[in-house]
Amino acid sequence: MDAFFAAVEQRDRPELRGLPVIVGGDPNVRGVVATCSYEERRFGIRSAMSAARARSLCPQAIFVRPRMDAYREVSRQVMTILRSYTALVEPLSLDEAFLDVTAATTDGTLAVEIAREILDRIHRETGLTASAGVSYNKLLAKLASDWRKPHGLFVIPPERGLAFLAPLPVGKLHGVGPATVKKLSAMGVETVLDLRNLSLEFLVTHFGKSGGWFYDVARAIDERPVQPSRQRKSVGTERTFSKNLADRSVMLTTLQEMAAQVAARLQVLHLAGHTVHIKARFPDFTTVTRAYTATEGIGSADAIAAWLPELLDRAVPKSTSVRLLGITMSGLVNVLAASRVAHQMNLLDGILIQG
């Protein structure tokens, strides 16, 4: 989906259409940008930027508080559309998913035709725009989906995969984070083509198991299948800040906003988690995680947020700045399955009592 949260706000409030909209915290109360409309992006505003900084870049910006219930409902509509074309749908977040339409193309229908029809239906049925990438593996499909935003469609055929990747910065590759980019840069590796010129032995020596992955993706090799019912081990999100963040109140506000996003994803997936993790990365790229485990499943934003002040204090010493914050829920349980089991147990108890 294109600028998802902001697009929903502009759809539901016609007076916001065509105006620069930021969904996130109040700039007067040290908030953070969750997402912004395309009108805002022309000013250099990006997710995870402080709301105050965003206001300075675009004084006329309109700030809107997130409405996770509204975004969750649109997500449900979109996922229903996707599943009408294939059962092989793997949601990545509220507004993004992988589809495997191989079976739907056996009659001669082209994947690009399916993608175009999906985009048209999303626009017609939700009033929102989306973008799609079509290719022969997840790596390239994801990159293609970002190539023609907003409301775009881009195809990378097998014979173009290597050439498409070659000039891209290595940081565009799935699994290559900022610390790895920095390490590769020190080795003189800036582009995917540079990475492709390194041997498997060299990459494994310097990056361990990840080196094998880097070797493959530099060659457009990605054999991960689309997994619609894979057993998730965790659900989370994180933000890297454009500047190191030292204000603890902004840190907490950011974590609370991420808690709402994680809770929304859990609800879409019918999951709850037993363990809340927060992650903090410092300016020297060292990373710490801290966690709290509850006896019962946690699924709401408020329940997750209740543990954030304590976890933040444990993870980030006073007067310390961070470059990244994240929240993850693990120890996941299927809420629907748990509800069915509880219902069955109640019925059984009733039968035993009657007997």
Name the binding residues for Mg(2+): 95
CA distance 5 to 16: 13
Task: Give CA 58 to chain center in angstroms.
Answer: 25
Phi, psi (deg, nearest 5) at residue 258: -65, -35
Q: Which helix (H) or strand (E) holds 161?
A: helix 161-165
288 three-state secondary structure: strand
DSSP codes joined into one string, 301-333: HHHHHTTHHHHHHHHS-TT--EEEEEEEEEEEE
Q: How many CB atoms lie within 10 A of CB 129?
A: 18
**Catalytic one among 96, 113, 190, 238?**
96
User: Cβ contacts of residue 18 below 8 Å, gap of 6+?
Assistant: 39
The reply to whether omega before 169 is within 30° of 0 (cis) is: no
**Which residues sit in the known binding site?**
95
Catalytic residue at 96?
yes
Q: Which amino acid is at 227?
A: Q
What contacts 94, CB < 8 A, 6 or more positions away?
4, 71, 72, 75, 261, 264, 265, 268
The string of DSSP codes covering 71-133 is HHHHHHHHHHHHHTT-S-EEEEETTEEEE--TGGGTTS--HHHHHHHHHHHHHHHHS----EE
Which helix (H) or strand (E) segment holds residue 141: the answer is helix 138-145
Q: Given the DSSP bridges, would you call strands 96-99 and 271-281 parallel, antiparallel or unpaired?
A: unpaired
Pairwise CA distance, residues 29 & 11, whole Å: 26
Q: Which of 212, 156, 162 is nearest to 192 (CA)?
A: 162
* Other CB atoms within 10 A of residue 80 CB: 11
- Catalytic positions are 96
